[in-house]
Amino acid sequence: MGESTVELQRALRLLGWSLRVDGAYGERTAAAVREFQRGFAFSTLVSSGNAGPRTRAALRASIRRGGRCSRHFSFRAFRSPGDGWIKLDRALVRGLEAYRAELGGDPDSQHFHGTAADLDPLLPLERVVALRAFSGIGCDVASGLVRHVDVRHVGPAPDGATVASPTVWSR
């Protein structure tokens, strides 16, 4: 990433901000820079909205790390479902990292690799299988509704499951 506003806007869009790449360093670009500075948890940046050398270096580092704001979390994970904007405080991200470390658990868990999610049980197994999007599906025994989905076929330890033939279990 160079020093131009266009490159800055492209970097912010790549990380997940819904931002026009127009070369104008207007209020929306400054707001995205402020939010990036506020949410970047690898170091503490001043949330000024100015993209100085430390902020640009942090943007490059985040992009190299796959859009991460911390070791295990990406900026995109915090995008608002309403307007698509990312508002994030590094204190939350650092707290989530501490929470994750406290959980311990299986280092090969799909959750620890960003390839799994636990859900409020709303859909039955048949409808989730029909989506052909998940290769691992966990159901609630009592209700038969799906509580867990994963894409283990793209994860660190694929077990042969596919979206056409997912691994299914009840808990």
Distance, in Å, from the CA atom of 79 to the CA atom of 25, rounded to the nearest integer, reads: 22
In what side-by-side order are the strands of the sheet with 167-170? 116-118, 146-150, 136-139, 167-170
145 phi and psi angles, rounded to 5 deg:
-95, 150
Q: What's the pLDDT at 1?
A: 43
pLDDT digits (tens, 9 = 90+) for 6-16: 999 999 999 99
**155 within 8 A of 148, measured Cβ to Cβ:** no
pTM, entire model: 0.65
pLDDT digits (tens, 9 = 90+) for 22-51: 999 999 999 999 999 999 999 999 999 999
pLDDT digits (tens, 9 = 90+) for 113-160: 778 888 888 899 999 999 999 999 999 989 999 998 888 888 766 678
Q: What's the pLDDT at 77?
A: 87
Q: What residues have CB less than 8 Å from 92, skipping those under 6 apart?
A: none
